[in-house]
A = this chain, B = another copy of it.
Amino acid sequence: MSQQKPSLPKGTRDFGPDQMIRRNYILETIKAVYRKFGFQPIETPGMENLSVLTGKYGDEGDQLLFKILNSGDFLSKSAVQDFEGGTKSLLPKIAEKGLRYDLTVPFARFVVMNQHTITFPFKRYQIQPVWRADRPQKGRYREFYQCDADVVGTNSLICEAEIIWMIMEVFQQLSLSGYTIKMNNRKILSGIAEVLDVTGRETDLFVAIDKLDKIGLENVMNELAEKGFSTESREQLKQILTLGGSNAEQVAALKNLLSNSELGSQGISEVEEILNLVAASGMSSEKIEQILEVDITLARGLSYYTGAIFEVKAHQVKIGSITGGGRYDNLTGMFGLPDVSGVGISFGVDRIYDVLEELNLFPTEQLNTTQLLIVNFDTALLPQALKILSRFRAAGLASEMYPEPVKMKKQFNYADKNNIPFVVIVGPEEVETQKYGLKNMRTGDQVRLSVEEIIQQLQ
């Protein structure tokens, strides 16, 4: 066997117990909210056929797919000598599968392959890792979890309202209050292009608008001037981008400004209806106004959104969006099943983790896994200690016994390092009196209690 120093592939990570418990706290919270809203779990394999993945993420995405070598001796000298024509003809011979790049395309494939057994509308959630051959850098990994929920098979804007409620519930449960849900609509963006009379140059327009937050209004205008946008269209845009006020005020002003664009007007109506539906749940308009913000500069990867667009920004932490999503009219069209509209949301687990960490929002109490450790006193008392251990476990307490009768100090250190909050001592005197030492590892307090009393206290 080789004895090299082991290492991890670039851009990948191990998660030790401390991180896992915090990550699970986030993932379980999101999962519970998804379930409470009627979403059902699915999972798809990590490996997909390259024919499913290729061409779905643009040229850049294709470059970032991890491809899996076929098994067999296709790499033998003779097989390679047969090769004549460069990458294009060698690749299919040696790789037919790739690693999942996101959860959306596999979900579309799932829907198409199961279209005759699925009851639509279909609400699914999916929490699995994805892989991208990106250049690794701080906060960008080659393997990371996505955490998606989508409804497909309905155009109802109730689904958009549900997404907003789910976002609010997740962050409320995670005790994160300083955040904004930004909402826009792809049709509003198209409407703006129409009224500026720049149809066909949407990409340049949206890319520039999307930078407003970062580079400011003047630089956006300069960029558009360089790209050849007329003075008139730039002035009109300036008017639109400097609209302020409440969501209702923005909606009213946009109705007016985009009245000549049918698509734009439709986008505004949708925004208005979503705002009304959100309010219908009984939430106060102050709370809605405080959390939800119509932001017409939000563009968010223009590739497949066709209606609502969502993005969540944390206030106190410098980090990209922590959640995003939107409506797409034709998810499954890529696999030959047209007219399946859907809307989805994806929580960014790694970034939410960083935000909670930086704001110190992880609840210390809930993050213990094991509640108590029984000290291994000596071999003679082992049977008594094991009997008590089994009573603790029967009562549902996560508990363990130190496996060896080593020095107490070492055993207490083990409890300390593993964040085990209580230690129980089963020594000769304790066994005789049936009152066992219970030590609180945080306060250092120690009391003598019966097994029942310990169970009552810790349950």
Contacts and interface: CB of A to CB of B under 8 A. Distances in A.
Interface of A: 1-9, 12-17, 20-21, 24, 35-38, 40-49, 51-52, 54-56, 63-64, 66-69, 71, 73, 75-77, 80, 83, 85-87, 90-91, 94-97, 99, 109-110, 112-114, 117, 119, 121, 123-124, 129, 131, 133, 142-143, 151, 154, 156, 158-159, 161, 165, 169, 277, 280-283, 333-336, 369-370, 373, 376, 382-383, 386-387, 389-391, 393, 396-404, 413-414, 417-418
Copies in the complex: 2
Q: Which 10 A-B pairs have the closest CB atoms?
A: A38-B400, A156-B403, A17-B40, A12-B45, A280-B383, A119-B417, A77-B86, A281-B390, A20-B41, A71-B133
A447 B414 CA distance: 57
Nearest to A384: B280
A398 B36 contact: yes
A336 B7 CA distance: 13
Q: SS class of chain A's interface: helix, strand, loop or mixed? A: mixed
Contact of A119 (B55, B66, B283, B418): B418
Given A15-B44, A16-B42, A159-B403, 7 more contacts: A3-B335, A16-B110, A38-B399, A68-B99, A156-B403, A158-B401, A280-B382
A1 B56 contact: yes
A257 B69 CA distance: 52
A31 B48 CA distance: 28
Nearest to A391: B282
A69 B71 contact: no
Contacts of A66: 47, 68-69, 71
B17 A42 contact: yes
A281 B400 contact: no
B40 A131 contact: no
Nearest to A48: B9
A44 B165 CA distance: 33
Contacts of A283: 390
Contacts of A21: 40-41
B73 A87 contact: yes
A142 B96 CA distance: 15
A121 B404 CA distance: 9
A352 to B, nearest CB: 17
Contact of A131 (B46, B77, B418): B46
B404 A154 contact: yes
A294 to B, nearest CB: 20
A55 B2 CA distance: 7
A64 B24 CA distance: 32
Nearest to A66: B68
A391 B283 CA distance: 11
A24 B34 CA distance: 15
Nearest to A390: B281
A97 B42 contact: no
Nearest to A2: B55
A99 B131 CA distance: 12
A38 B44 CA distance: 31
Contacts of A393: 36-37, 169
Contact of A113 (B6, B15, B158, B399): B6
Given A112-B6, A143-B47, A404 B71 contact: no
A311 B84 CA distance: 52
Nearest to A97: B9
Nearest to A87: B75
A1 B68 contact: no
A101 B21 CA distance: 25
Contacts of A96: 9
A36 B398 CA distance: 4
Contacts of A71: 63-64, 66, 133
Contact of A49 (B9, B44, B94): B9
Contacts of A389: 281
B69 A76 contact: no
Given A40-B369, A334-B3, A46 B46 contact: yes
Given A38-B399, A41-B20, A85 B95 contact: no
18 contacts: A2-B55, A5-B336, A6-B51, A9-B48, A9-B97, A14-B45, A15-B41, A17-B124, A37-B393, A45-B143, A46-B143, A47-B66, A69-B94, A75-B87, A94-B94, A158-B401, A280-B383, A281-B386
